[in-house]
Structures are given as structure tokens and as C-alpha cells.
Amino acid sequence: MKLYNTLTRKKEDFSPMDGKCVRMYSCGPTVYNYAHIGNLRTYIFMDLLRRTLKYEGYKIKGVMNITDVGHLLSDSDDGEDKMQKAAREQNKNPYEIAEYYTKVFFEDLNKLNIGKPEITPKATDHIPDMIKYVEGLIEKGAAYETADGIYFDISKFPKYGMLSGIKLEEQQAGARVEVNDGKRHPADFALWKKAPKEHIMQWDSPWGKSYPGWHIECSAMSKKYLGEVFDIHTGGVDHIPIHHENEIAQSETLTGKNPARFWMHGEFMLVNGGKMSKSLGNTYTIAQLEQMGYKPMHFRYFCLNAHYRKKLNFTFEGLDAAKVSYERLGSLLLKHKASPAKTDEKLLVDYKKQFEDNITDDLNVPGALGVLWTMLKEPFSKDIYELALDFDRVFGLSLADYKEEKQELDVPAEVKAIAEERFEARKNKDWAKSDELRNKLAELGYSVKDSKDGYELSVKE
Ligand code: AMP
Ligand code: ZN
């Protein structure tokens, strides 16, 4: 299969290093708030990759970290720790905040059928691993201490910028001069932060009471669980220029090797063509979409319609269209399920091949959905239903559990009155009257189905 590698800027043939099991690291959430639909798009991308690899017969050892300390307001190590800020604003302990939002995050993944990676380590459980990592970098002469922390000396890693293609000189020219006297170069980044007294999450370290920087978390945890070099590293495109450059700089300096063979990035979700941000009030959560009457699968379908390397513009018109398509897909599928007819084996093999050609071409999921739609237009057959469920191992659209939503019938008052009268007649065991009223309903274009303690009206076919 082919995957696009940000590192080489091209699609490359992929197979895991050991031929069987894909070792994969995904940058996880910072658990100080609810995940918004943009964040979730990135995890849907991770999930599609995991599902495709599994479909192709590989095993997966996936690690996704939970950042519960050290992610500062700006990715380039400015400002307050996001956890600490949320704790202050909500008047809670940061550990409580982390626990609550981690729980909701996993519930969101579950609603969206995003498989939970095999290992989901928390940063706060790995402080000793990170300290050791930083000590290693100091020993290599690539890190130095200032009044407020330990910084990575970017001049010791001339390849800095290899992932984003941004040269250090360009970064330097564009960099804001930060109020941080101790730093040797504006792009030097914090490995470790000395904790001000009010910082609740702090640990003893060789550098006094302190806490880890964000970038070191991913390097230390990926190395611990996946080794010095693993197969794939994923994240959102915003991580390319800082977070992932920093991970590479740390790892290559310590081990001499780039930690991941493939670096893969999901493009951003926009809202109404612009940035998604809390101040604009356009950062929806899955719970909010549910309150508006959408199923999580409508949102998943919406995301599947765009390739992961293309920007996706979220609008409610777009989500409505996804909802209609998903429901149409489901009801078509039920018709195939109900049909005893067979489909020619050759045709099925051909559809499966087309499907696989798409997913193994750098996860062309929109293309694979196109194959599914074409296939569903074939004469109804249970074989097609079965093959659609096989494809759904990748789509993750819960097609096996699909149930048609009962449409509330807009029944005229006159019809409703007759149906009620008939219901009364049945209760009184007046079968003759009941039959007569059934005929009357039929004349008006309605059929009625009786149940133990009620009835259901539908439009006569
Ligand atoms: P965070 O919790 O802020 O670290 O973000 C979690 C993940 O969501 C990261 O992989 C980000 O790259 C990703 N992300 C943030 N905003 C968006 C967006 N608008 N669209 C897609 N992914 C995003
Ligand atoms: Zn990370």
C-alpha cells in the first residue's frame, strides 16, 4: 500500500519494519477542554489509517498520549500551561480537569467508532522517563539550563526544519523576540519548565520543582512503548512546523535516528471557510451536534467524504447533505439485506478490488465510498449487503447496526379520528366495525398495522 510521507513529500510504498505489526504513535489530546469537531477529524483520520492497515492484514501497536501537563498556551512554549489555566478558571484541581475531559474524550471516540489505540499513556505517569530523556540531551551537550527551565539548543541540530522545509534562518527572521533572556536562540524550545509556586502540577527533578515541556512527552513515551524507531507518527498539520520538528530534533540528537519512518498529517477542518476558534463561537462538540439532531455517524460520514490531506470546510448545509446521504445509504443497504438474490461472484471480486485499490492509495476513502455507492445500485442481493459490511471494517459507519428512522407521519386529523375510532372498536371486540373502518382508511390511502396495545399508520404502497 502507498502512504504519503510528509518527511519525503511523496507517496511511498508502506509495509511495517517487521513485516507484520505496525508500530504507530499518534499525538493525543490536551485534556483541558472538550474535543471539538476539528480535533475529532484528526482522530477519524488516525482511525481510518488503523482500520485500513488492519484490513490489509497487519496487526497494530498504537500509542496515543494523553497530554495532562505541560502544553503551554502557545505551541512554541509561551504562556501558561493549558491545564493550569483551565484549573484556575474553573476553580478545580488540574487532575480533576484531566480526568473529566479524558473520560469525555474517550466517550466521543466511542460514539464516532474511533478505535482506541492499544496504549494510551498519560504524561503525568511518565515523569521519570522524561527526566531521563532530558538528562540524556544535556549529556550530549544539546540542552542548557536557564532561570526558568531547560532548553534544547537548536544550533546543535543543523537539520532542524527537515519536516516543514522551513529553514532555521527563516524561522529566526520570522520569530517574535520572546521575553526570555536566557534563551540562546529564539527557536530554542523548552524541554523542562521550572514551576512557579502556584503551579499545582510539579515534581522534584534535578532542576528543582518543575514540570515537563510538551514536546518531550511524545518523544519519551514513543521511545518507551515503540522503541527508538517505529513505523508511523500521526498528528494534525499544525504539528508539522513546531511540535514534530522538535520531536525529531530531540530524538535524533539522543538516538541518532529519526523516530518515525512515515510522518503523516491530517489537514484542518475549517468552519464557514475560516478558522475554528472558541472566540468565534464556532467550535462545535459531538454532544452539541447530537443535541441538534445529528447522529455521530452523520459527522463521520461528512468527514469520510473528503480526503484526509484536503482541508474540509464544515457547514451545516454540508452536514445536512451528509445526513441525507448516510440515511439513504442505510436504507438501500437494508433492501440488499432483505433480498435472497445472488450476485455474480466475479462482480463482487471486482468491487472488492476497486475498493482496495482506493484505500491502499494513501487512504482514498472518498473514492472507496464511491465504489460502495456504485455497488449498491446493483440489483438487490444479500451478497452485496455482506460485501458492504466487509468494506465497513474500514469506513466504520456502523452499517451492520443501521436502523431506519421511523418518520413521524403527518396524518390528517380526519384519518387520525377514524384510526382512533377503529382502535376503540377493536378494544370492544367489534370486529365488523373494525374491518369497515380499515377499508375506510384504505380508501383514504392509509394502511394500519395492529400491535398488542396500539396501532401504526402508514401510507399505502
Ligand atoms: P490538541 O488537543 O490541541 O493538542 O489537539 C488535538 C489534535 O487536534 C491535534 O492533532 C491537532 O493537530 C488537531 N487539530 C486541532 N485543530 C484542528 C482542526 N481545526 N482541524 C483538524 N485537526 C485539528
Ligand atoms: Zn505529540
* pLDDT recorded at residue 180: 62
* Residue 90 confidence class, pLDDT cut points 50, 70, 90: confident
| Count of residues making up the chain | 461
Residue 268 near ligand 1, beta carbon < 6 Å = yes
Count of C-beta atoms within a 10 Å radius of residue 9: 9
Residue matched to cell numbers 443501521: 402
- Helix axis angle, 296-304 to 316-338, nearest 10°: 100
Residue nearest to atom 6 of ligand 1 (CA): 29
* Residue 411, CB-side half-sphere exposure with 13 Å CA sphere: 22
* pLDDT recorded at residue 93: 85
At 397 the three-state DSSP class reads coil
Contact 421, 437 (CB under 8 A): yes
Residue at 282: amino acid letter: N
Q: Which of 59, 32, 71, 33 lies closest to 115 in space, CA to CA?
A: 59
Phi, psi of 357 (to 5 degrees): -60, -40
Ligand 1 atom nearest the C-alpha of 269 is 20
Determine the average pLDDT of the residues in 145-154: 94
Ligand 2 is a single-atom ion; what residues have CB below 5 A from it? 27, 218
Residue nearest to atom 14 of ligand 1 (CA): 39
> Is it the case that residue 177 has pLDDT exceeding 50?
no
Q: How high does pLDDT run on average in the chain? A: 93
Give the cell for residue 272: 464557514
* pLDDT recorded at residue 186: 84
* pLDDT recorded at residue 406: 65
Residue 239 near ligand 1, beta carbon < 6 Å = yes
Residue 28 near ligand 1, beta carbon < 6 Å = no
* pLDDT recorded at residue 453: 79
Contact 243, 228 (CB under 8 A): no
Ligand 1 centre distance from Cα of residue 39 (Å): 4
Determine the average pLDDT of the residues in 19-36: 95
DSSP 279: G
CA distance 88 to 269: 29
* pLDDT recorded at residue 205: 96
Lowest-pLDDT range of 44-58, 217-231, 234-248, 393-407: 393-407
pTM, entire model? 0.87
* pLDDT recorded at residue 458: 85
- Burial of residue 340 (CB within 10 Å: 0-12, 13-18, 19+) is exposed
Give the cell for residue 77: 512554549
> Is it the case that residue 405 has pLDDT exceeding 90?
no
Contact 50, 60 (CB under 8 A): yes
Determine the average pLDDT of the residues in 88-114: 93
Quick one: how far is CA 132 from the chain centroid? 31
Ligand 2 centre distance from Cα of residue 455 (Å): 57
> Is it the case that residue 178 has pLDDT exceeding 70?
no
Give the cell for residue 331: 436504507
> Is it the case that residue 409 has pLDDT exceeding 50?
yes
Residue 40 near ligand 1, beta carbon < 6 Å = no
> Is it the case that residue 176 has pLDDT exceeding 60?
no
Residue nearest to atom 8 of ligand 1 (CA): 39
CA distance 329 to 352: 18
Ligand 1 atom nearest the C-alpha of 27 is 10
* pLDDT recorded at residue 440: 94
Angle ∠(41,223,162) on CA atoms, nearest 5: 65
Longest dimension (CA), the chain: 97
* Residue 137 confidence class, pLDDT cut points 50, 70, 90: very high
* pLDDT recorded at residue 82: 86
Determine the average pLDDT of the residues in 390-408: 89
Q: Which of 437, 307, 304 lies closest to 372 in space, CA to CA?
A: 304
> Is it the case that residue 79 has pLDDT exceeding 90?
no
Best probe residue, ligand 1, of 73, 238, 275, 283 (max atoms within 8 Å of C-beta) = 238
Determine the average pLDDT of the residues in 230-256: 96
